Amino acid sequence: MLNKITTADARKKFSNIINRVAFGDDSFVLTRRGEPIAALVSMQEFKILQEVEDKIDIEDAWKAKNDPGAPIPWSDLKKELEI
């Protein structure tokens, strides 16, 4: 279950929130001035997010490998990298 909580309230209830995330099925979005700034998720959810990100990175790498694009002149690359 996704919950929203202000950073001020989260400080007051920190140990309770951590227990709910670690041992329950809760996740929290921390807000400041009504804007979301961070999220607290369980390690299981975090690992899933990492796996999804890794899969996307691998797919992007294969796309780049299969479509290398036009060659970039060394002088242009040096300018872009400021070396």
Q: For 22-72, write each residue's pLDDT tens digit.
A: 999 899 999 999 999 999 999 999 999 999 999 999 999 998 888 878 888
Distance (Å) of CA 1 to CA 29, 59, 65, 67, 83: 11, 30, 40, 41, 50
Q: pTM score, two decimals?
A: 0.68
The structural domains of the chain, with segments of one domain joined by +, span 2-68
φ, ψ (nearest 5 deg) of residue 25: -110, 25
* Candidate CATH numbers 3.40.1620.10, 1.10.3720.10, 3.40.50.360, 3.40.50.80; the one for domain 2-68: 3.40.1620.10
